[in-house]
Homo-oligomer: A and B are copies of this chain.
């Protein structure tokens, strides 16, 4: 275990409670096998409860599971399998902190009663485009301007972003319109650069398990929008959030943007149930990105409304003044008029749902 880990472990142990897991013994296991396991557990300071059925014997283990990371109980003679009973994350769990976290970005609160709207182009392309978008989304009620400066693209031949030049443009556009900025970072170096311009870092879906990057934004201390990966379970996603929080930065906003399934009619399958599931398991706020899930502008509006109805704390929506001329992900970006109508509808829905959203600037 290297120094950083030890430090984290120590820090956390003092703050968090017990785990629980079940060791299921094979029908063929002997008295001796069981006793050996009980001895090991005792030596590690873990509580154990033995239950014998006519076919199966199980041992319930209570205590800090991490002391078992180095002792593969499941390879000991007579053991069939280990069944974990409580989740592997701690700091982001509702068990650890039952009340919902509200993240304050310089006055804009995410996770409270207000529904927060983040909007802007997929990629920052030029001054006119980002200024036009900023004015438009502000007018409809957005509090955040989004726009990518570093674009991770599947093909090496696609447009890869304007980099720092793009961040300067979004900075000016946002400040002129009193908007906060959220923009994606993809490496240590880009965290350093973006830190000068953005209010909230975004970790993209493909980097949700880039643990090196998670630690970097954890150390940087700014709020983070953490997108779920296309093949990341909710539990793994919460563990990814735990990486950031375990560095001392608890300002994490989860963002569901669709998972990969066998269905190809949409780019991804928006897992709308992630909203109530996350609300049940974690105190962190959750927003929805309907644009990447849909992949088609015509599906964005119904999916955005569904997200709000399901209880999401906000949306991050792609808006582009002329999607036909966009340099990336053109087909999923809304025109400002469509976004405006969406905001109007959401302000009506908010009331019924006992939330708040102020349409218009």
In the complex, A162→B155 CA distance in Å?
Answer: 34
Asked whether B269 lies within 8 Å of A261 as measured between CB atoms, the reply is yes
Q: Does A156 contact B309, Cβ atoms closer than 8 Å?
A: no
Query: A35 at interface (Cβ–Cβ under 8 A)?
Result: no
Which of A1, A207, A269 counts the most B-chain CB atoms under 10 A from its CB?
A269
Taking the complex as formed, is A89 at the interface, i.e. its CB lies under 8 A from any CB of chain B? yes
A44 at interface by CB-CB < 8 Å: no
Q: Determine whether the beta carbon of B160 is less than 8 Å from that of A55.
A: no
- CB A73 to nearest CB in B, in angstroms, measures 9
Q: A267 CB to closest chain B CB, in angstroms?
A: 10
- Contact present for A231 and B262 (CB under 8 Å): yes
B89 touches A327 (CB 8 A): no
Is there a chain B Cβ closer than 8 Å to A242's Cβ?
Answer: yes
CA gap between A307 and B212 in the complex, in Å: 32
Residues of A contacting B: mostly: mixed
A323 touches B55 (CB 8 A): no
On A, residues with C-beta under 8 Å from B are: 1-2, 4-5, 8-9, 12, 17-20, 22, 24, 27, 47, 49, 51-56, 58, 60, 62-63, 66, 69-72, 74-76, 83, 85-86, 88-89, 95, 152-163, 186-189, 206-207, 209-212, 229-231, 233-236, 239, 242-243, 246, 259-266, 269-277, 280-281, 293-294, 297-299, 302-303, 305-311, 323-328, 330-331, 345, 348-349, 352-353
> What would 26 A/B residue contacts be, using CB atoms closer than 8 Å?
A2-B162, A5-B159, A12-B157, A22-B60, A22-B83, A51-B62, A53-B63, A69-B327, A69-B328, A70-B327, A71-B325, A74-B331, A75-B331, A76-B324, A157-B246, A186-B211, A259-B262, A259-B263, A265-B274, A269-B269, A273-B299, A273-B302, A276-B294, A302-B311, A306-B306, A309-B309
